Chains A and B, each alone.
Chain A
Amino acid sequence: GQNIDQPTEMTATEGAIVQINCTYQTSGFNGLFWYQQHAGEAPTFLSYNVLDGLEEKGRFSSFLSRSKGYSYLLLKELQMKDSASYLCAVSPHDSGAGSYQLTFGKGTKLSVIP
């Protein structure tokens, strides 16, 4: 089966750095995605990792360790607008027809406080 775990909620201060962890156990692995979802809105893509290591994109970085089934999303210089849910999603397998559907974790609700 597929299992993706992330903390339910986190709180951090404006201007600080926060790390959101994700562990996964899936049948097959074609990559891990992080999405941001503001309340009542659609998920929006943040990052993709398929190889071990750190991917940096502006204030956001994402790390992957395939051997440990572990990823984290690092948000630097937090802003109030970063208050949202952060979803870890794994592409577990290739259906054979290029359908890289994603299995999502329950999301981590981040609250940024002044």
Chain B
Amino acid sequence: EPEVTQTPSHQVTQMGQEVILRCVPISNHLYFYWYRQILGQKVEFLVSFYNNEISEKSEIFDDQFSVERPDGSNFTLKIRSTKLEDSAMYFCASSEGLRSSPLHFGNGTRLTVT
């Protein structure tokens, strides 16, 4: 069964550094998402992406965050200047885009900001 893949599985960075989290969505999916989950808390929506542009973003997704689809397969999340509170598990997801289409999540990147 096709799956969403994310790299790296774990990233440690120092406060103020830039990080790029990478995702390869399922190939025939059209809608891509980033979510985050702070340890012990709920899964939170960050941003959705369709047709090479952001279709929706949450309040969390401020100017420090950006997304890009640099080629036909990768989907990236960049955090420009990381803060301690950015430490979380970041999940990429994709879907076919129908109302009933479930989101398929990758295994996540655990980001630790020190």
Interface residues of A (CB under 8 A from B): 30-31, 33, 41-45, 48, 50, 87, 89, 91, 94-95, 97-107
Contact = CB atoms under 8 A, between A and B. Distances in A.
Given A33-B102, A99-B55, 10 more contacts: A33-B103, A43-B91, A89-B43, A98-B55, A99-B48, A101-B45, A104-B43, A104-B44, A104-B45, A107-B42
B108 interface: yes
A98 B99 CA distance: 8
Contacts of A44: 105
A45 B104 contact: yes
B91 A42 contact: yes
Contact of A103 (B45, B48, B95): B45
B73 interface: no
Contact of A45 (B41, B43, B103): B103
Contacts of B95: 100
A97 B59 CA distance: 19
A44 B93 CA distance: 11
B100 interface: yes
